[in-house]
Structure 1
Amino acid sequence: MSNETLIEKYFSKSLSPNETLEFDKLYESDSDFKKDVDFLKTVKLVSEKEDDLQFKSQLKSYEDDYSEHDKKTTHKWLKPLIAAAGLILIMLSLNFFMNSKLDEDQLFSSYFEPSKNVTSPIIRSTDNETTVNNAFIAYSEADYKPAIVLFQKAYQDSKNSELLFYEANSLLAIEDYENAITKFEEHLKYSDILTNRSHWYLALAYIKTKQIEKAKQELKSLLNSDETFKKPEANSLLEKL
């Protein structure tokens, strides 16, 4: 049996007892055979975590190619396999590195918490049943869906742009990222005491939706502003991006 077939059967775990003895003997006595096997073991260790079927298919395709073509050169089948396997190993390693480098969900979870109410003191009294007050009561209790409706109505009535900021925070808290982005962008068209803070939350929303370059721009806008809110966190987050 050819060395190449022994190797293929070894990786497909289909060696017979006699073939296993032959394989072990070659592995101990033939340094080239051992080097080829060890290299493919490394490749398979990486590739099976990503696409084991693809690796086995690659082995089978090269074995078939070997069977149909010139068999005079001992490593005619193995050399192109090693070249291709090396490329697979590099690509998988790079893919693993890139994927492990940035975890958008983890970054968002680490940095996001809804903004505190710094606009309107809550008055819990039947004498103050205003839409704004009720909106902030719902917001303070993390009852975000009713808060969104109330903030919308309060903004329509008062045109107080700060309410857009809290509505957007509520949308972000319930994972409605696209609408949160739209609302933060709308708030940034105004100039109030919370405007620059929208850069921070918009950056987080962009991270969550994998729009990293836009997130970087928002963080830079915050850092370049006079706003002190979340500046250390913005520096830290920008470095991670």
Structure 2
Amino acid sequence: MQADDYLLIEQYLDGTLAEREKTAFAERLATEPDLAAALREREAMQRYLKFESQKDALAAQMGLLGKQYFGGDSLEHGNAPSEAKVRPIGQRWWVAALAAAAVIALVLLVFNPFAPKSGQQLYAEYATHEPISLTERSNEAPALAAAETAFNQGDYERAYALLKEVPGSPQSQFAQAICAMETERTAEARSLFQELANGSSVYKNYGHWYLALSYLKTEGYEQARAALAEIPKEDDYLFTRAQELLKALP
């Protein structure tokens, strides 16, 4: 690795690289283990810093426990309770200890800086649906206009019902598949995405991408990897996103 590579890693994580630069960087990650390891270390450091930023909230919670179970504010700001302030009555001390341990365990579980993200977390991060425009491509303007409005407002249940009533096109099929995925009609969504992926429309690569996202929701990581691997390098945007997601998979 060279000194400039560390700056490149920062720009990659900040999202300030141009699309062509991100593609070139993703290709290097696949062939340069040292660069990939440095990226993982930097990502781990970011998660650690995020964890550090939550420590004040943990201290506040521990302070509340101190007041409730030890009769004072002895646990605030990380101070150990003095012996004079501890008033265990029966099982009260053990309840306090268990409560404190539960808070610590919960914080470590949620904010563990080295824990990989779950499928649901990755889905929430990567499943960003761009607004659609359906009325330009069909004579079914009233129904499609209503479906378009519902989709762009995030009302996927209504959009799904409307799209089921209009003639199919690759664009409306793509929108319907997203609606099916967002309304837990997973099998139908995958079938529609697979059909798009097998076709030759402009939504072919999006079919692979969203098929992978559908498997993230159910933690089908191997199926997600297989779908992402189908996205060609020629599609700079989706290929780069696919490489990022592949590295993030557990």
**Normalising by the residue count of structure 1, what TM-score does the alignment of the two structures yield?**
0.50
**Normalising by the residue count of structure 2, what TM-score does the alignment of the two structures yield?**
0.48
Greater RCO (Cα-Cα under 8 Å, separation 6 or more): 2
Structure with higher Rg: it is 1
